Amino acid sequence: MSGFKDIMRQSARGLGFLALVIVVGAALALAEPRFLSPASLNGIARHMAANGLAALGLTFVVIVRRFDLSIPGVAAFAGMSMGAVIAAGAPLWVAIAAGIAIGAAIGLVSGVAISRFGLPDIVTTIAVGSICAGMAFLYTGGRSIFQNFFQVGITDLNDARVLGLGVSLWILLAIYAVAWFVMQRTRTGVAFYATGENPVAAHFSGIATRRYIALAYVLCAICTVLAVLLILAESGNAETNKGANLMMPAYAGVFLGAAILGGTSVLATLGGILLITMLLDGFALMGVPYYYSDGMISLILLAGVLAFSDSARNWLNSFAMVRAARHAASGEKG
């Protein structure tokens, strides 16, 4: 019977989340009727694609209870590298393959440094990110790369439509579907979760925990590369600051989704990033200046994490208890 209860609790969270999305959507639509226009919805889908991919990558890292702050650096270097490959006249798939290879290599360096050699995750990824951000300037010294971009067809990733929806959204959904399958339906996913939630028990169960931690960083870097690819496709050129705005929405999406849906997972991240992107685009439509957006996201993130954290609950409980005790004491005296 308790199994049934669990399922109910899970679906209750899911339903609550859907209700939240509808309420937020309705509120934004009321405040700004253009929010529900096809152009706006399409914009949401496009922005969600890039943000969602970065957030997905971060999801793997957070599942093994680590952090990755190299996302902007990796995005810059991989973006410029792909731009350079395209400018050199190579076909699009070569550029993408090169980008993925570079991302995988960077992720492997961070991952091995952290899992095998025990370096602290935060500072290591900041350092790696800084090196990558510097290396992004190697090709052009920081100038924009745009040669061959239209000929090679990268903009189709942004403009083309399949069944009425943008290609980038399909890419996002496809990759999320694969990721969901891997994390929920394969032994790799089980090993990932076990590594994050109890590395000792996972080790005692024959799971190569270090390998999964390294793999999480590799996957994160590859997802970041794909995210920046979509950004290049949207803008039609490569610049060193592309991807600078990927990290905050990614963190917000992962942690907000986890807070609302009760745990880090591919679906929770998708939900979180949907909410974040809706809010961002809604605010943009309403004419809220761009510089508020990061602040909004971080406020939402903090509020979400705080509201759903255990200590918040304990804290509130202890408040209630202290108050009750005080009440009782005054009652005794009186």
Partner 1 sequence: MTMTLTRTATARPHSTRRRLSRLITNLWLVAALVLMTVMIASQRPQLLDPGNMVAILKSFSIMVMMILGLTWVIAAGKIDVSFMQVAALSNMLCAWGLSQGWGWWPAIAAGLAAGLAVGLLNGWLVAVMRLPALIVTISTASLCASLAAALGKGTVIRIATPGPLASLLEPHFGDAVPLIMLPVLALAALAWFVQERLTMGRYIYAMAQNEAAVRSVGVPVVGLTLVLFVFSGVCAALAGIILAENLASGQPMIGGPYLINGLTVVLLGGMMVHVGKPNILGTLTATLFIGVLFSGAALLGLPDYQRQIIQGALLLSGLVVAMLAARHHGERRKGG
Partner 2 sequence: MAEPILTASGVSKRFGPVQALRDVEFHVTPGEIHALLGINGAGKSTFIKILSGIIQKDSGQITVAGQEVHFRSPEDAIRAGIATVQQHPELVADMTGLDNIFLGRENPRRGLLSRISQRDLERRAEALLERFPVDLDLSQEVGRMSAVEREAVAILQAIAGENTRVLILDEPTSTLTDIEREDLFSLMGLLKAQGIAIIYITHQLEEVFAIADSFSMFRGGTCVARMTVEEAKAGQVSLADLMLGEAMGDIFPPRAGTVPGEAVLELQAIALHGDFKPVSLTARKGEILGIFGLVGSGCDELAKAIFGVAPPDRGTIRLRGKVVTFKSPRAALDAGVFLVPGDRRTEGLVLTRPALFNVPLANLRRASAGRWALKRRRVQKDARTLTGDVALHPPSLTTPASGFSGGNQQKIVLAKGLYSQADVYIFVEPTVGVDIGARAKIYALMRQLSRDAAVIVISSDCDEVHGVADRTIALHKGRQVDPASGVFSRDALLMAGIMGEVAP
Q: Which of 108, 305 has the CB closer to partner 1?
A: 305
Q: How far is the CB of 202 from partner 1 (least distance, A)?
A: 12
Q: Does 136 bind partner 1 (CB under 8 A)?
A: yes
DSSP 162: E
Q: Which residues contact 175 (CB under 8 A, 6 or more apart)?
A: 53, 56, 223, 226
Tell me whether residue 7 or residue 303 sits nearer to partner 2 (CB atom).
Answer: 7
Contact residue for partner 1 among 213, 216, 225, 266 (CB under 8 A): 213
Segment near partner 1 (CB under 8 A); pick from 5-13, 30-38, 130-138, 153-161: 130-138
What does the per-residue mask of binding to partner 1 show for 227-256, with x meaning CB under 8 A?
A: ---------------------x--x---x-
With the CA atoms of 128, 133, 137 and 138 taken in that order, what torsion angle do they form, in degrees rounded to the nearest 10? 10
- Cα dihedral 88, 167, 290, 276 sign: negative
Told to check if 179 binds partner 2 by CB under 8 A, we report no
Regarding 313 and contact with partner 2 (CB under 8 A), the answer is no
Q: Which does 3 bind (CB under 5 to 8 A by kind): partner 1, partner 2, none?
A: partner 2
Q: Does 3 bind partner 2 (CB under 8 A)?
A: yes
Number of residues that bind partner 2 (CB under 8 A): 24
Binding residue for partner 1, selected from 184, 198, 309, 317, defined by CB under 8 A: 309
Q: How far apart are CA 296 and CA 140, in angstroms?
A: 34
In angstroms, the CA 125 to CA 109 distance is 10
What single-letter DSSP state applies at residue 145? B
Using CB under 8 A, pick the residue from 44, 87, 202, 285 that binds partner 2. Answer: 202
Which residue lies nearer to partner 2 by CB, 69 or 194?
A: 194
| 126 φ/ψ sector (left φ>0, alpha ψ -120 to 50, else beta) | alpha
Query: Per-residue DSSP letters for 216-234?
Result: HHHHHHHHHHHHHHHHHHH
Nearest-approach distance from CB 195 to partner 2, in angstroms: 10
Q: Return the structure tokens found at 241.
A: 């600051």
Instruction: Work out whether 128 is an interface residue with partner 1 (CB under 8 A).
Output: yes
User: Is 2 an interacting residue with respect to partner 2 (CB under 8 A)?
Assistant: yes
Binding mask 208-227 for partner 2 (x = CB under 8 A): x-------------------
Contacts of 64 (CB under 8 A, 6+ apart): 192, 195, 196, 212, 213, 216
Q: Does 112 bind partner 1 (CB under 8 A)?
A: no
Q: Which of residues 60-99 bind partner 1 (CB under 8 A)?
A: 67, 69
Using the rule CB under 8 A, is 309 a contact of partner 2?
A: no
Q: What single-letter DSSP state applies at residue 246?
A: S
d(CA 53, CA 98): 18
> Under the criterion CB under 8 A, does residue 261 sit at the interface with partner 1?
no
Among 205, 186, 184, 181, which Cα is nearest to 195's?
205
Burial of 112 from C-beta contacts in 10 A (0-12 / 13-18 / 19+) = middle
Would you tell me which residues interact with partner 1 (CB under 8 A)? 67, 69, 113-115, 117-120, 122-124, 126-138, 141-142, 199, 213, 248, 251, 255, 289-299, 301-302, 305-306, 309, 311-312, 315
Would you tell me which residues interact with partner 2 (CB under 8 A)? 2-3, 6-7, 181, 185-188, 190-191, 193-194, 197-198, 200-208
